[in-house]
Amino acid sequence: MIKRGQIETLFKQLKQNFPLKYFLGDNVNAIEIQIWVSMIANLLLSVIKSRLKRNWSFSNIASIVRQHLMNYINIYKFLNDPEKAWVSIVEKKRAEYRNSLFPELEGAYF
């Protein structure tokens, strides 16, 4: 049985981390889709939070995932040890462009 506190926490997370103040569509179906997508994203972020060894707040996880959404990173490794994960990404990119014809362009990727 779900308790009232859990429901209030869910709505608080949804209001704080997802833009449900303004709806992108103006019909009922579009509004329902936007609410369902926010709830699915909330569920995925909760699963990520539960699998992490490091203790992060939910809003910090949401903002980090939002910023790195288009980057090819392992989100678990990044959130467990951000510094080590970022250094490994930079070193991998540096190794890719080491023998490049235009090595001065490698700075554009870092």
User: Where are the domains positioned within the chain?
Assistant: 1-67, 70-110
pLDDT at site 89 = 78
Kind plus residue range of the DSSP H or E element containing 36: helix 28-51
Using CB atoms within 10 Å of the CB of residue 6, give its burial: 0 to 12 exposed, 13 to 18 middle, 19+ buried.
Answer: exposed
pLDDT at site 79 = 87
> What is the pTM (predicted TM-score) of this model?
0.66
Contacts of 45 (CB under 8 A, 6+ apart): 17, 58, 61, 62, 65
Contacts of 46 (CB under 8 A, 6+ apart): 58
pLDDT per residue, tens digit, the chain (110 aa), is 668 888 888 888 888 888 777 777 888 998 888 889 888 999 999 999 999 888 888 888 988 888 888 877 788 888 888 888 878 877 877 777 777 676 665 555 54
Paired tokens of 73? 């990173």
CB 106 within 8 A of CB 94: yes
pLDDT at site 47 = 92
| CA 88 – CA 68 distance, rounded (Å) | 16
